[in-house]
Amino acid sequence: MDWQNRIDNYVRETGFPLSLFIAGDNRVVGTWIMGNDYRVKSSYYGGYPAGYLRRIKALFPDKERTLHLFSGKVDLSVFPGDTVDINPDLKPTYIDDAQSLKSVPLEKYDLVLADPPYSIEDCERYGTSMVKRNLVMRALQRLSPDAHVVWLDQVLPMYRKDVFAPEAVIGMWKSTNHRFRGITIFRRLATRH
């Protein structure tokens, strides 16, 4: 499925206005203004804002197996999939450290949604230590070619340019007094492990 088809499906399925465009260098760029409904349904600290999962789902109707990484209390009724979190109390499919993902058969998934803690202050809320983003991206190199990684963060993680192509970048605005965030969508290239 090419990106024009993904964008068309996004507009059709969500009913939101067109907000994603294919730029001159073939990269997809866009901005999502999340509107007034910025609440987190689960009320989990740092949880996805209302509407986020629905938007991402509409971009990837072709995907068959999704992995929610740093899953927290992700709403699986909106976006079904398996989950990974370091906190066993959250009862994820895999209790694992995203920096190694030793117990996760990554080659079985064609889509990963990653929502890491953004800062040390955020980690204090989860009782975890700060994540080394480059190690997470290194672990994700075990994905199969053409798998996509949707990474929501305030920082672009370090990644190998011969392994991942950043195909789309989307700025995300919530309401006043909330931090700006960016979504980077990587595709696993076929070239190397």
Which residues contact ligand SAM by CB under 6 A? 42, 44, 46-48, 70, 72-74, 85-87, 97-99, 115, 117, 126, 128, 131
Between 128 and 189, name the residue whose CB sits nearer to ligand SAM: 128
CB of 26 to ligand SAM, least distance (A): 29
Between 22 and 95, name the residue whose CB sits nearer to ligand SAM: 95
* Residue sitting closest to ligand SAM (CB): 72
Using CA atoms, how far apart are residues 149 and 107, in angstroms rounded to an integer?
13
CB of 71 to ligand SAM, least distance (A): 6
Which contacts of 7-12 are long-range, i.e. CB under 8 A and separated by 24 or more positions? 7/59, 9/58, 9/59, 9/61, 10/55, 10/58, 10/59, 12/58
CB of 80 to ligand SAM, least distance (A): 14
Burial 171-188 (b: 16+ CB within 10 A, else e): ebebeeeeeebebbbbbb
